[in-house]
Chains A and B, each alone.
Chain A
């Protein structure tokens, strides 16, 4: 297989684009997809201060590298979840990446915040991933607001987004369908949230990271067995294999033609969030999810 642009041996085959690119042309392709996402969805501009959530995996590091190359004003935030045998490794990859590529890095330690994930896991009788996800969203948002960032960027890719959409559709979860997308505007108490890699598959971000010389962390979190969407991702992989291009058309079709209807319905039904009396975070409950977790963490068995 030859690269159609420069006729050298291809390194990355992309059935959904009917092409295979050499290393240099693949990086150009990747860059253009990110630029297209930013432009089409008006994700941010050179004026914005962007905080990137860095897990240490291929997606978040690829995102940080690409936004840096495109000249955006960025810094990274890593959350050390204090999971034995996993968090140390992830943090090490993030720290080395930021040192090598000259990216500003902030680290938040959940141990210090009183919410180390293994302790949360023991205390609650439910899958830890939903709690962990909630904790991460809370702190990323809070850190951005407290430190003058007006955009929070995450490395979610097309596979993540398509699987989430599929799962929301399977449950006809109107509220989540109305608020899913790569471009969530700032609201009272929430910073603007963007996913600039939404046009790129997991396969593409892995290839990009490899070609960009990024030493990413690929050992999975020990709790990831309970992580969501694994099965949906596998299903969608099969569909994509049979019908290349399906994932992006499913997701973009939703953004362009589906999302509006759900957003409208949700506006009519959903309650208005108010600031949590404990911490000020917006919530529709009496107190926010994190103050609730803290309360339970502080209580006796």
Chain B
């Protein structure tokens, strides 16, 4: 599964994440620390995701 992480603009290869929550856990993020976007749509943590999906994880932290 190809995941684009922003703002770094890095691709991460994550296997076997079946839900958004799962994916965020693998990226060591809490659900309110990123927005998860698929085809221009926002996904809540309970949504199922597919290995074919291309997904953007935009980290929130404007820690500056």
Contact = CB atoms under 8 A, between A and B. Distances in A.
Interface string A214-238: 0000111101100101100100011
B32 A241 contact: yes
B63 A230 contact: yes
Interface string B38-64: 000111111100000000001011111
Contacts, number: 66
Contacts of A13: 31, 44-46
A207 interface: yes
Contacts of A221: 64
Classify the secondary structure of B's interface with A. Answer: loop
B17 interface: no
Given A12-B44, A201-B32, A237-B33, A59 B62 contact: yes
A32 to B, nearest CB: 19
Interface in A190-218: 201-203, 206-207, 210-211, 218
Given A1-B44, A218-B6, A206 B35 contact: yes
A58 interface: yes
B1 interface: no
Interface string A112-148: 0000000000000000010000000000000000000
A11 interface: yes
A207 B42 contact: yes
Contacts of A229: 63
A240 interface: yes
Nearest to A209: B35
A129 B37 CA distance: 32
A220 B44 CA distance: 25
A230 B6 CA distance: 18
Contacts of A182: none
Interface of A: 1, 10-13, 15, 20, 23, 57-59, 129, 201-203, 206-207, 210-211, 218-221, 223-224, 227, 229-230, 233, 237-238, 240-241
Given A1-B47, A227-B64, A237-B33, 15 more contacts: A10-B44, A13-B31, A13-B45, A13-B46, A15-B31, A15-B32, A20-B44, A57-B62, A203-B35, A207-B35, A210-B37, A218-B7, A219-B7, A220-B64, A233-B61
Interface of B: 6-7, 30-33, 35, 37, 41-47, 58, 60-64
22 contacts: A1-B44, A1-B46, A11-B41, A13-B31, A13-B44, A13-B45, A13-B46, A15-B31, A129-B64, A201-B32, A202-B60, A202-B62, A203-B32, A206-B35, A206-B58, A207-B35, A218-B58, A220-B64, A233-B61, A237-B32, A240-B32, A241-B32
